[in-house]
Amino acid sequence: MSTTPAQQNALGLALGRIAVAAGKPVLDLFRTGTSVRTKSDASPVTEADLAAERMILEGLRNLLPRMPVISEEQPETHQLAPDEAFVLVDPLDGTREFIAKRDEFTINIAVIAKGRPIAGAIYAPALGTLWYSGAESFRLDVAPGTEIGQEIRAQPVKVRSPLPGGLFALVSRSHRDPATEDFLARLSLLDRQPMGSSLKFCRIAEGSADLYVRLGPTHEWDTAAGDAILSSAGGQVVDRSGVRLRYGKAELGFRHAGFIASGGLRMSRDKDSALSMP
């Protein structure tokens, strides 16, 4: 899939439009309440997950009618050819935060080409904030369901250089594992803050945090949009050996073994616990 930087940015914004539209029913159900059931993997799913997915799939059929879509709620819908471009969707990331009435939940969409995200959008309906990316990354304050026109004033976002005294790390509210805790314990941290969903990628991309580590298993739809936005903002998302994440691993159930997302610093390949400045 060959695109110019301008086309990549336009694709990211188009994904953002779909996410903002899907944010309306999600926020409505957040305010009024919704049914919850438990999936076979013991994770929760709500009516909001399904309502967002329906709107996103409809939007993607209009935007990218011939491109396969892999969604968290329908991960086995398509068989992918090697290096085939496709879309990854997490219609409601942070479902546990949603159920607990915390505003840290997001809608995530990313286009993958040759194993890497080339455009992405993350929308936080309760915050009214959209982050999107193509060749560059942007932030836009927009209410759920708003039609985004051609003339917008999106703010470019860039990662920051780490502060001299240490790193500000974001950690998952709902997913903790010993490997992640051991990794963080060996770093010089100024502070660490729990946060739900893919918001952690966005906060690093816009320069308000430095690091997000999760060394337990996760799915590709959990990271793809955040990877797109953070990477285009000057950061990176890598595995334990410092290699950028690869997407489209259908043979592994679209799973990652873990990842390290960082802003203005780089992962050392010598030791999986060492981070060095660029």
Q: What is the CATH number of the domain that holds 94?
A: 3.30.540.10
Select from 134, 135, 203 the least CA-distant residue to 168.
203
DSSP letter assigned to residue 244: B
Specify if 195 maps to a domain: yes
Residue 227 and residue 198 share a domain: yes
pLDDT at 260: 95
Overall pTM surpassing 0.75 (yes/no): yes
Q: Are 137 and 131 in contact (CB under 8 A)?
A: yes
What does 139-175 look like in DSSP terms, one character per residue? EEE--TTPPP-SS--PEE----PPBTTBEEEEEESS-
Angle between helices 5-32 and 47-63 (to 10 degrees): 150
CA distance 199 to 131: 9
Specify if 162 maps to a domain: no
CA distance 42 to 269: 35
pLDDT at 136: 98
User: Would you state the structure tokens that stand for residue 252, as one six-digit string?
Assistant: 């592994």
Helix (H, G, I), strand (E, B) or coil at 50: helix
Residue 123 and residue 22 share a domain: yes
Residue 143 and residue 35 share a domain: yes
pLDDT at 266: 67
pLDDT at 269: 54
Residue 23: alpha-carbon gap to chain centroid: 15
Pairing, β 259-262 against β 236-238: antiparallel
Lay out the sheet containing 137-141: strands in order across.
69-71, 86-93, 106-113, 116-124, 129-133, 137-141, 155-156
Residue 112 and residue 73 share a domain: yes
Q: What is the CATH number of the domain that holds 187?
A: 3.40.190.80
DSSP letter assigned to residue 243: P
pLDDT at 273: 47
Parent domain of 65: 5-156
pLDDT at 32: 92
Q: Are 113 and 209 in contact (CB under 8 A)?
A: no
Token pair 């914004």 in the structure block, residue: 13
Query: DSSP alpha helices (H): ranges in the chain?
Result: 5-32, 47-63, 95-99, 178-185, 199-205, 220-232
Express the helix, strand and coil content of the chain in percent, nearest 5 each: 30, 30, 40
pLDDT at 276: 44
Sequential pLDDT tens for the chain (278 residues): 657 999 999 999 999 999 999 999 999 999 998 888 887 776 888 999 999 999 999 999 999 999 999 998 876 666 788 889 999 999 999 999 999 999 999 999 999 999 999 999 999 999 999 999 999 999 999 999 999 988 888 999 999 998 888 899 999 887 778 889 999 998 889 999 999 999 999 999 999 999 999 999 999 999 999 999 999 999 999 998 889 999 999 989 999 999 999 998 865 555 544 444 44
Count of domains in the chain? 2
pLDDT at 2: 56
pLDDT at 41: 72
Specify if 161 maps to a domain: no
Residue 147 and residue 219 share a domain: no
pLDDT at 78: 63
CA distance 262 to 267: 8
Select from 78, 27, 26 the least CA-distant residue to 55.
26
Select from 102, 109, 154 the least CA-distant residue to 127.
102
Specify if 267 maps to a domain: yes
